[in-house]
Structure 1
């Protein structure tokens, strides 16, 4: 979409406000709104100024002036505002016109440019499956003298005996019993359908939606794959629409990986493939799961660098409450055809050469998608360039239910880090692959690790409510 097309759209749709957005290091959208009457061609040339010192992990107050440069192809109409508003995603630049090397969207674009410079392929496709919960009520507090959380859902297994509904209608979803039931057990068909309608109006191509495994309103909506940066843009749009649609229904949505103890958490399984122009590079008929050597080496890079990758793909302390055995959590660093207990799964059902891809199942939606997708691509490219063979390193293929293996067999399988601090340790020890093509910089890695260490410490020093159950009567 050209600048003129955007300006025409503003007039045709009687747009009153133009909302310029960027994403911070933590993956959250930030925005500044300008009256549509103040937006002209110069806006797209000169950008929109903002204070970078107020964004965690960006710049100090002495270097706070920064510029959002609008990307016209990302424009879509906000479906939630009372005043007609056009949303436009932006890249971040310094006042002297240089790309800001801590801009997550800029990092994603550099990763795509690096792929092309290698001569391996021309584009990488990504498709995330981002799961979420829709709750009816959420309360939490963390203070000096108390700490708690409490969520509730009309679907929840713990509400089979509740009287406050004005007549309990039953049909609650059992723990781990929520995968694709029909109504009246699935109460959220209409809200998910409304989310999909709004996503399609905003330009996403929706493939399907369904209830997920956990009790208490876990769902999933799948949208069509696209190139790396466009998919990250689309994921932010996806999360924005889900959160605000839930709010319109008087509910609340969360992408938190593990909001409930004792049931499945929410992951973000990421499907990936590389193409050279119109030729898919991951398919070779007759080989294991019809995978080419390029695809196997890409898998090798993902699994070899996985401990460091996880600092970017699972960057929260809560991520590691999900990454435990027993809840379909992909903690085992092996690959397998169609096997959901492996960290890397190769889909094999109804797969064509164009549909041949790999699925990294470990990530979750606390990840900044621009950083996570860029890091995954760089790990895979490193595997291709160094011909890292996952078979030679003991990463599979393993076509067994890993959760049912003996302890001795499990001991032979490398696992994911056990905490955010362990993942950050791995990133500090193994980040050279991220520096290729100057996609990430050492400054970025150091700054990111410092920011995330602060989060880990904030959780580690606080008293956990369960410690009272364990130790109060010591």
Structure 2
């Protein structure tokens, strides 16, 4: 790492915290292709080696990373992600973590690291004078566990939207999650029970898009860890229970230039700028091309069905929550575009990269979106939707992958390495699901035929 005055100051601050908090272990965290968190643990005495990018690991052991003959990779900590891990504080000692980018032996960015994919998108925006802010909203479920600590299919409570105790049994869990996040530097804005039984959301303040992906990754780790300490299982699976709402990861994005929000125009009827309209159009034009990234599981498409608030039709509105894209009411510096289809099983680095790139594509090309749809799309007939030109999102992972491969968009954003490994992994996942015999088939066919 090249030390600037700013990074040197940050490093000295980290060293003071390590000394004050008696931090003896440092976890160097990174994510795999699916966004699952991994780490390598070192002692605090090896901080300087870590900061210089001298901590090596075997990339061939991480699915989608490196072949065995090119397995040596290195971790470069992002100093801005340093945090003492709250639940490790014990007997005066504690542990801390960094989120890292993955590097090649020659010091270049490893193209298989999904964090580096998002960094490339950020750099491309910066070359045009733009910065991107993002505010994700990740929902999750809490499930009871059995005597061996394995998750059951029974939700932790039967409460509904915004309910309080004694029905909301997750209040104490959310409180501990909030405290852990706050201790790690998060600015938590809202916490509440969600629509479905056992479903919850904790919202945190928006950040630059890379920071937002780091925060989403950290948030999922903290939620699952704290839940485990309560004897519960937290899942970000998009549709774990049939017949109730699934979990989404609504992504709010804004585009800034010279400190000004480019999406706001006080003179427009909706107070939206031409850049905002073009960003919306870019999302709508590319949505099918990147749905496999923002909704990457077989299970993802069981959430994107009518009747459960999740979008399944390609439309936008300034107020309509049945639309794919919504413009929340706040204006001025808070003007933003909300994409409602992504789910929290997605890798945040890849998801935010494709969403940002799609919107920027619309801005670069000066695209204009079709007319907004302010009516409830779920209650329209198929003929009415056809007359309005309202198309559907892909109905399965298979169709989403077909669209992904039919366009150059995702390959351009993800890069050849990540694109190839992602498609291969997801094709194998679909084929495994397609050829498996499911309990529904046994229940409906075994006795009948």
Q: Could you tell me the TM-score, scaled by structure 1's length?
A: 0.88
Give CA deviations for 1:215-260 in whole Å, capped at 9, x if unaligned. 1x10000000000111111111111111111111111111100000
Which ranges in structure 1 are unaligned for 5 or more consecutive residues? 141-148, 157-172
Counterpart Cα distance in 2 of 1:150 and 1:252: 8
- The alpha-carbon distance between structure 1 residues 138 and 28, as it changes in their structure 2 partners (threshold 3 A), is farther
Counterpart Cα distance in 2 of 1:293 and 1:433: 25
Quote how far apart the aligned CAs of 1:101 are. Answer: 0.9
Matching residue of 2:16 = 8
Give CA deviations for 1:127-148 in whole Å, capped at 9, x if unaligned. 00000001113799xxxxxxxx
Deviates more, 1:451-460 or 1:125-134: 451-460
Deviates more, 1:69-78 or 1:181-190: 181-190
Match of 1:77 among 84, 93, 109: 84
Match of 1:53 among 56, 60, 74: 60
Matching residue of 2:258 = 277
Quote how far apart the aligned CAs of 1:197 are. Answer: 1.2
Give CA deviations for 1:58-103 in whole Å, capped at 9, x if unaligned. 1111111110111111100112235611101111011111111111
Task: Considering fraction of residues, name the structure with more helix.
Answer: 2
Counterpart Cα distance in 1 of 2:47 and 2:86: 23
Match of 1:461 among 425, 429, 435: 435
Matching residue of 1:166 = none
Quote how far apart the aligned CAs of 1:406 are. Answer: 2.1
Match of 1:382 among 352, 361, 385: 361
Counterpart Cα distance in 2 of 1:334 and 1:304: 11
Give CA deviations for 1:251-293 in whole Å, capped at 9, x if unaligned. 1111100000000000000000001021110011243432111
Which ranges in structure 2 are unaligned for 5 or more consecutive residues? 1-6
- RMSD after superposition: 1.7
**Superposed counterparts of 1:293-308, under 5 Å:** 293-308=274-289
Structure 2 residue 409 is the aligned partner of structure 1 residue 427: no
Structure 2 residue 377 is the aligned partner of structure 1 residue 402: yes
Matching residue of 2:3 = none
Secondary structure of 2:200 counterpart? strand
Q: Could you tell me the TM-score, scaled by structure 2's length?
A: 0.93
Counterpart Cα distance in 1 of 2:259 and 2:368: 26
Quote how far apart the aligned CAs of 1:444 are. Answer: 2.6
Counterpart Cα distance in 2 of 1:6 and 1:78: 14
Matching residue of 2:37 = 29
Please say if residues 375 and 434 of structure 1, whose CA atoms lie closer than 8 Å, have aligned partners that are also in contact: no
Matching residue of 1:196 = 178
Match of 2:346 among 367, 382, 385: 367
Quote how far apart the aligned CAs of 1:443 are. Answer: 3.4
Matching residue of 1:207 = 189
Please say if residues 289 and 346 of structure 1, whose CA atoms lie closer than 8 Å, have aligned partners that are also in contact: no
Matching residue of 1:222 = 203
Counterpart Cα distance in 1 of 2:43 and 2:189: 35
Deviates more, 1:282-291 or 1:189-198: 282-291
Report the count of equivalent residues. 433
Please say if residues 139 and 151 of structure 1, whose CA atoms lie closer than 8 Å, have aligned partners that are also in contact: no
Structure 2 residue 305 is the aligned partner of structure 1 residue 324: yes
Matching residue of 1:125 = 133
Secondary structure of 1:21 counterpart? strand
Counterpart Cα distance in 2 of 1:181 and 1:18: 39
Secondary structure of 2:135 counterpart? strand
Matching residue of 1:113 = 123
Please say if residues 378 and 433 of structure 1, whose CA atoms lie closer than 8 Å, have aligned partners that are also in contact: no
Counterpart Cα distance in 1 of 2:202 and 2:54: 34
Secondary structure of 2:33 counterpart? coil
Deviates more, 1:188-197 or 1:252-261: 188-197
Matching residue of 2:232 = 251
Quote how far apart the aligned CAs of 1:109 are. Answer: 1.2
- The alpha-carbon distance between structure 1 residues 154 and 372, as it changes in their structure 2 partners (threshold 3 A), is closer
Secondary structure of 1:90 counterpart? strand
